[in-house]
């Protein structure tokens, strides 16, 4: 701010410190908001401008869970795989840049001995995984899993890759819940498509044009 004012920029209304407030994905230490305010507060006050902050994922990241169910178990190359019905199209971050999201078995499984597994999706892609080398209680076909911390990036980064309709979104408040975005269908994926009319092209080819 001081440098801008020295450069002759007179109209300054706000100072924006941006975002970057992290959330806990696995074992990270959550940010101490009090210490954060103590660090930036004095500097912001010195500017005499309105302070703006973009908390983003800090507000919604840990509010989102991706629920997925085991559809198959297999071993290959000395590793154990849990194949689930969610894939990289539902949560792209692990495949895109190696993001680690906590994955747990839904229900009381704390007393059961854990085993190392890779949690992978049903898409035939090397990058189709949700978690690698995770220690989970015994998972069998039908076991429900929860992938945590997907509120800021899950649905917004999801796609219909491999002709997979996107999952529904469900809002939960205590013991109340409501579907706030319906599950997509194959008809939804094909709604914008149309059959091509080749009659004009065929006439041009037949006439030598």
- Please list the active-site residues: 124
The position carrying tokens 């305010």 is 37
In whole angstroms, what is the distance from residue 193 CA to residue 55 CA?
Answer: 39
* End-to-end CA gap in the chain: 67
């Amino acid at each position: 701010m001081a440098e801008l004012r020295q450069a002759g920029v007179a109209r300054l209304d706000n100072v924006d410190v941006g975002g970057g407030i992290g959330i806990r994905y696995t074992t990270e230490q959550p940010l101490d908001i009090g210490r954060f305010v103590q660090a930036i507060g004095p500097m912001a006050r010195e500017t005499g401008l309105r302070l703006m902050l973009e908390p983003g994922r800090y507000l919604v990241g840990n509010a989102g869970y991706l629920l997925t169910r085991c559809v198959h178990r297999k071993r290959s190359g000395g590793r154990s795989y849990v194949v689930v019905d969610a894939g990289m199209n539902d949560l792209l971050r692990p495949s895109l840049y190696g993001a680690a999201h906590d994955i747990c078995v839904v229900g009381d499984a704390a007393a059961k001995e854990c085993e190392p597994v890779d949690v992978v999706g049903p898409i035939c892609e090397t990058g189709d995984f949700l978690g690698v080398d995770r220690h989970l209680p015994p998972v069998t076909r039908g076991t429900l899993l929860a992938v945590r911390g997907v509120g800021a990036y899950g649905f917004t980064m999801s796609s219909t890759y491999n002709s997979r309709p996107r999952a529904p979104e469900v809002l939960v408040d205590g013991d109340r819940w409501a579907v706030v975005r319906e599950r997509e269908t194959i008809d939804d994926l094909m709604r914008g498509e149309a059959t091509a009319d080749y009659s004009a092209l065929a006439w041009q080819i037949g006439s030598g044009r």
